[in-house]
Amino acid sequence: MTKTKPDIGRISRFIGVGIAATLTHGLLLIILVEALSMRPAYATVLAFLAAFIVSYLGHYHFTFKAKRSHKQAMPSYGLIALVGAIINFTIILLMSDVLNYHYMIAFIVTIFAVPPLVYSLSRDHAFDNQYLFLTREKLWSSKLLWAPATMFALITLTYSLAFHYRVPFFDHWDIVGFYESMQNDTLKLSDLFALHGSHWHSSGYLVMLGLSKLTAMNHGYEVLCSVIFAVLGFIALVRILLRSVTLLNSTHLLPWVLGVSAFIFFSLDQAANWLWGWQVAVFLNIAGVLWTIDLLSQDRIDLRRTCLAILAATLAVYGFATAWALLPIGYVLMISSGALLHRMGRLSLLLWTMFTGGLLWHFMLLQNANETSYLASTSPALTDVKSLIGLTHYSLNFLGSPIVRFARDIAVPITLLGAGLAIWALLSLRHNKHFIKAVIPILALMAYAAGSALLTSYGRWQDFGVKQAFSNRYITFGNFYWIGIFVLCILASGKASMKSSPIRISRILIGICSLLLVLKSGNSIGAAYKRILHAQTMNSAAEQIVTQYSDHNKELYKTFSSPHQNINPRLDILKKNNVSLFRGVKKQTPKDKVEDKIEDKITD
């Protein structure tokens, strides 16, 4: 299939309409901010909506000369414009409100960031009849496919909002220092890229600081964003699985594939991540990882998809260290998609190599600048046999934890059992002519989980031992190992059921998978309940601190901070700004203080 040359005339018309829409956007933004004193982040949304009307009519009648009806084109373009509006809002919020750049500088950045994306999506999905907004549209619109995922996502959302931590928890206290710098207009972009332990947390910082401006650091909105990012990641996962299932001619198994995947993906044994606003970086990470795998595993690699994959991978790597595992996976995906066979693919490989080199350079630069680097102090010797055994044991525990965290002694055999199931499934599917193309993305998911396990063991095993692998915040990463295993087993069983000889083996292995899912359910119920109790204890302590501030019991700190953390100054910052646990508490005016003193004297 040959790639058509870009339509220079259409691009020129797009630019012309874009200039008209941009002028509309810019002029209205200036009027709303300067004349009506509206916050830039909110003003840009209204201005964007006005520009949307100009751009839609211009692109429909002039740029693309669409033959589709408004009923068909408007919803698709509206969704594309919504994506553009969200990106617009985010850039303006982060640059203007968080990093304190002038709002017009932020606006200029949006001019270069948003239109290319909008053009690409509009061309492919809104105005041209030959494209569909989502591949295999009938499958995507099936209620049967989406019902389980919707149900599990809503359960997780309800759980997260009902029981989330209403006070910063352990590492979360770090955001308070950044918040104070932001309030004092001293926050620098470089501050957000300082290493947190052995990795970046920059993506999470940006989200949390942006939300703190909008919501007075209401941690409920942080966990809401975590669920939203998880849903965005799940959409990419569905795209990956849909392609694989279609290539294997097994679309009749899609309800099972997506239902089981959703059950694992949104499982409540990740409760520490769902309830803890700080872990929004984890869900940014997995969303970035899944979209990268989706983009790099498509039929033909080109520069556009590679650039989008690099953007997604950047969010992932600057969110959590496990995304380093994505870099070699990216090479495998690109090569398996035929990148070496054509010029555009080779350029894409070069671009991915430059991206990888840039990340490594940035990381080593910061590592060398920090003489007391956490990573340097905790790195085990890879030439030592005892270290290799310890790292392997930790990694196997990490991968087994999503199924049997409650029965830690059998985590290693359960992980190996999962590997055996995957091997059986691969052998059963190997005769399909699209075998390699279908299974590579699924194996990429499993490889990401295994890479996450190895990277975490390298940074954690020596100081914390093998049991630390059972921390339920790691389950989010280990889940991909099991999603891959269950999907492969479902597909292989579907093929085996059409043949007489392997039916008995297929039934036995499906029985094993069913047992593993029952264990997963027990894992989720136990972890979710324990985290509810923990959250209630924390939130109760926070309420006592708020009501008895300055006279509260310092022992309450133990529920949400470690002994080496001095959180008193940070509590003072939160109190001063009426944010986080102090949100909604009435500020005490000088008059109130005088009245309190008079009341105290009368009482005495």
Q: What is the pLDDT of residues 70-110, one digit of tens each?
A: 776 777 777 777 777 777 777 776 677 666 777 778 788 88
The answer to whether residues 432 and 488 touch, using CB atoms and an 8 Å cutoff, is no
> SS3 helix, strand, coil % of the chain, rounded to 5?
80, 0, 20
CA Rg value for the chain: 26
What is d(CA 52, CA 75) in angstroms, rounded to the nearest whole number?
A: 12
The end-to-end CA distance of the chain, in Å, is: 89
What is d(CA 288, CA 285) in angstroms, rounded to the nearest whole number?
A: 5
Burial of 187 (0-12, 13-18, 19+ CB in 10 A): buried
Tell me how far CA of residue 119 lies from CA of 11, 13, 272, 278, in angstroms.
8, 11, 40, 35
- Amino acid 144: pLDDT: 58
What phi and psi, each to the nearest 5 degrees, are found at residue 199? -155, 175
Strand pairing partners for 199? 196
Nearest CA among 190, 21, 221, 12 for reference residue 110: 21
Low-confidence ranges of the chain (pLDDT < 70): 1-7, 72, 93-94, 97-99, 123-126, 128-145, 369-378, 496-504, 586-604
Burial of 396 (0-12, 13-18, 19+ CB in 10 A): buried
What is d(CA 176, CA 173) in angstroms, rounded to the nearest whole number?
A: 6
> DSSP E strands: which ranges in 44-155?
none
The answer to whether residues 207 and 284 touch, using CB atoms and an 8 Å cutoff, is yes
Length in residues, the chain: 604
For 156, other C-beta atoms within 10 Å of its C-beta total: 24
In which residue are the tokens 């496919």 written? 145
What is d(CA 384, CA 381) in angstroms, rounded to the nearest whole number?
A: 6
CB-side exposure of 68: number of CA atoms within 13 Å? 22
146 Cα distance to chain centroid: 20
The vertex-332 CA angle with 328 and 337, nearest 5°, equals: 145
Tell me how far CA of residue 67 lies from CA of 54, 72, 133, in angstroms.
19, 10, 16
- Amino acid 275: pLDDT: 95
What is d(CA 315, CA 203) in angstroms, rounded to the nearest whole number?
A: 6
- Amino acid 131: pLDDT: 36
The answer to whether residues 510 and 493 touch, using CB atoms and an 8 Å cutoff, is yes
**Helices then strands, each counted (H, E), the chain:** 24, 0
The answer to whether residues 361 and 314 touch, using CB atoms and an 8 Å cutoff, is no
The answer to whether residues 223 and 162 touch, using CB atoms and an 8 Å cutoff, is no
- Amino acid 4: pLDDT: 43
- Amino acid 503: pLDDT: 60
Longest dimension (CA), the chain: 92
- Amino acid 92: pLDDT: 77
Per-residue tokens: 183:
């309030």
Per-residue tokens: 33:
């901010």
Residues with Cβ within 8 Å of residue 275, at least 6 apart in sequence: 159, 160, 163, 164, 165, 223, 531, 535
